[in-house]
Amino acid sequence: MIRNIIFDLDDTLLDFQRGEYEGVRSILKNAGAPDIEEAFKIYGRVNAAVWQQIESGVAAQPLLNRRFSDTLNQLNIKSDGQQLEQSYREHLNHNFHVIPGATNLLKQLKSNGFRLIVGTNGVAKTQHERLVGSGINSYFDEIFISEEIGYRKPEPQFFETILDNNPDRNISNTVMIGDRLSADIVGANAVGMKSIWYNPHQNQTTSTAPTYIANDYQDILDLIL
């Protein structure tokens, strides 16, 4: 029986894409990109490659410090990537957008006695500030952020750290909920943990098989309750 629910944050509960869209466009505009939409597309490709490397185990911060300068280099604009990354991080720290329905989901699960846990990759300061600023921090009993625990999804040690933190927690009574197959579902599968792929856009699955698929929050409630 499920008693512990690990939630990813970005694009599972918090609307990271909205904050990213606003923040990246602001950075690119201030840096002098002549065509913001084209620059945003270039950034998307650069950033996807960056996160692919990070999830494969490459150190995160050096890559993050180059993603804006690498983007602008393709537009023949010289820039200080580390400084732009810091500016972007400040914007993200104040991205408090909650996906509609997420708060009600947490409230219902909490009222039914489940232990709710944050399990997220990212910069600790950013994620803590967003949890507090969005108002959803009060629903969580524990918070695990990759920068603080030294492991990131999909590394098995990330999930093992969460399981080992409570002697009453194991793979039989715990489920991972997240939107990223490559991080949330691959990682859960690696330790034999049940998973729910939050898939609101109804993307096709790949060879990475989650235990369950939820197209909306009601699906999550139906699966767990």
Q: Spot the catalytic one: 10, 11, 70, 184.
A: 10
> Tell me: the pLDDT tens digits for 95-107?
999 999 999 999 9
> Tell me: the pLDDT tens digits for 135-190?
999 999 999 999 999 999 999 999 999 999 999 999 999 999 999 999 999 999 99
Question: What's the N-to-C CA distance of the chain in angstroms?
Answer: 10
Q: Spot the catalytic one: 8, 11, 15, 179.
A: 8
Active-site annotation holds for 15: no
pTM for this model (two decimals): 0.86
Q: Are 96 and 133 in contact (CB under 8 A)?
A: yes
Residue 208: pLDDT over 90:
no
* 63-68-72 Cα angle (round to 5): 130
Active-site annotation holds for 164: no
Tracing tokens 């990682």 back to the chain, one arrives at: 187
